[in-house]
């Protein structure tokens, strides 16, 4: 059971990759001109992003699941999938190219860039599961100077870009009603253990959790 639990992020990522291809293929009939190129460009980048992060999931298979997660990993993954798939599965409200394209692309690429930068900065302390490793340290440089969980900030921004690009009310509900709450819940679960680290309480007083000046 432990081994199976450890494989869940990898299995889920693989399933999402397949669904993105299927939904993208179905969606392309509604794309025309520049939106065809933008749509497939965004999908290809999203899939490459999934593959890049799959390396973390592969290295964690042998570690098994983590009871500290309390289901937050699965809820977070499902809400992420709901956001991107609802964006592709329902009709986009924008009928012609406009400001939604540069704004959406900027949010999407900027969010991915921030997330990957945060993961690289965290180094071997980063995990898809809630774990406290030996000699765990608090990272306060790089993007961690501005928020305590910049990898989640990047994830949120990237999916805000998806919603802007492929806007419909269903993906907006998935973003605000599923992904954001799941993200906040996961942060709170993680911090139950991070607050046990020396210095984290002081760091939390000085730095917002997800969005600068907001929370």
What DSSP assignment string belongs to 9-66?
HHHHHHHHHHHHHHHHHHHGGG--THHHHHHHHHHHHHHHHHHHHHHHHHHHGGG---
User: CA-CA distance, 11 to 54, in Å (whole number)?
Assistant: 10
All residue ranges of the chain with pLDDT < 50 are: 1-4
| Closest CA relative to residue 11, chosen from 86, 19, 154 | 19
| Closest CA relative to residue 116, chosen from 155, 61, 160, 144 | 155
Q: Is residue 98 part of a domain?
A: yes
* CATH code of residue 73: 1.20.120
Cα-based angle 25, 43, 100 (whole degrees, multiple of 5): 105
Q: Is residue 215 part of a domain?
A: no
Q: Is residue 214 part of a domain?
A: no
Q: Is residue 17 part of a domain?
A: yes
Give per-residue pLDDT as tens, 99-111: 999 999 999 999 9
Q: Is residue 53 part of a domain?
A: yes
Residue 100, CB-side half-sphere exposure with 13 Å CA sphere: 19
Q: Is residue 213 part of a domain?
A: no
Q: Is residue 22 part of a domain?
A: yes
Residues near 119 by Cβ (< 8 Å), separated by ≥ 6?
Answer: 53, 56, 126, 151
Q: Is residue 77 part of a domain?
A: yes
| Closest CA relative to residue 83, chosen from 185, 189, 168 | 168
User: CA-CA distance, 120 to 125, in Å (whole number)?
Assistant: 10
Domain count, the chain: 1
Structural domain range at position 144: 2-206
Other Cβ atoms within 10 Å of 113 Cβ, number:
13
């Amino acid at each position: 059971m432990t081994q199976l639990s450890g494989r869940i992020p990898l299995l889920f990522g693989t399933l999402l990759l397949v669904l993105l291809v299927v939904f993208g293929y179905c969606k392309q009939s509604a794309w025309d001109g520049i939106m065809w190129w933008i749509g497939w460009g965004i999908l290809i980048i999203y899939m490459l992003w999934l593959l890049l992060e799959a390396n973390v999931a592969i290295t964690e298979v042998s570690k098994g699941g983590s009871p500290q997660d309390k289901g937050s990993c699965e809820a977070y993954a499902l809400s992420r999938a709901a956001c991107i798939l609802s964006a592709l599965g329902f009709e986009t409200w924008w009928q012609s190219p406009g400001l939604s394209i540069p704004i959406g692309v900027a949010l999407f690429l900027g969010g991915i860039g921030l997330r990957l930068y945060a993961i690289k900065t965290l180094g071997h302390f980063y995990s898809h599961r809630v774990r406290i490793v030996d000699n765990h340290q608090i990272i306060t440089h790089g993007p961690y100077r501005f928020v305590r969980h910049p990898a989640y900030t990047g994830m949120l921004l990237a999916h805000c870009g998806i919603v802007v690009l492929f806007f419909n009310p269903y993906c907006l509900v998935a973003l605000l009603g599923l992904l954001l709450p799941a993200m906040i819940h996961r942060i709170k679960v993680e911090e139950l253990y991070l607050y046990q680290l020396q210095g984290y309480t002081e760091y939390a007083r000085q730095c917002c959790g997800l969005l600068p000046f907001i929370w």
